[in-house]
Structure 1
Amino acid sequence: MMKKYLLIGMTTAMLVLTTACGGQGGGNTNSSQQSGVTDTGVATSENGAASGEQLVVKATNYAFDQKEYHVKKGQPVTIVFQNEEGNHGLAIPALNVKLDSSNSTMTVTPEQAGQFDMACSIMCGSGHSTMVAKLIVDEA
């Protein structure tokens, strides 16, 4: 009887973890004063292309395509997240960036130079904790 309750509890916990990591965060507030980023929305030119610099981040199972990504301080950058293999997300907590397959593009203007942690925001399996990279904001 105890094994049955333990199995039900573990199954419920796994379902909650799996669903919570992939959920649509509705409570995202922009605090650009703390993060040093101005969310500019996606600015487009006449032909519909995003203006400014574009940073493409590709995710495969347990890795991003680069360990470091460089952008310039004070320059708008459109971050484009591409999920190449598996189910992943992209979070840059210090800059209030959270992207996934349903919300894959965000344009920001980093106002602070430095290194910022990037990580997978969706529990993707045994290598999830090692799926990290750095966003380096260089002086303009």
Structure 2
Amino acid sequence: MSVAQNRSEKLRPLERRVYKYKNPKMNFFCPLCRSERALVYSYRLSWINYVQIAVATTFLMWVLYPIMEEKSFFIFFVSWGILEFGMRLAYRRQIPCPYCGFDAAWYKQDVRVARRLVNEFWGRDIDDTPLLRPESTSTEKEKASPAPKKI
């Protein structure tokens, strides 16, 4: 291993993690901190989820049929909606990077909100040292802060 490779590994410690995800749906690298990421859940329902819906619907229909009679057949749609909402919520919860706070879903919708979320993750105010903006020149800093008044 050359000195340059060793130095680059020391400068970027977040690229690889020792933890291995079991059966990830998607592997990728965080665009902000370049750490290796994996999504375990998918927002789409698999055939196992449809089996779960069928079992839950059958049980609920069996329990509620004496009370609701034929109306209990519509429980299928309620259980389907609840399970799909839960799957999408679980998928959405794993999108933000746990190492830098970058959320690709918010970045796609609104860059300012994504920048604010990253700054909040690092415990900064937006007016503090910018994290995602290039550094401003000294003339811009002088224009931003007015000269003190002489009395």
Question: TM over 0.5, yes or no?
Answer: no
Q: What TM-score, normalized to structure 1?
A: 0.24
More helix by share: 2
* Structure whose CA Rg is larger: 2
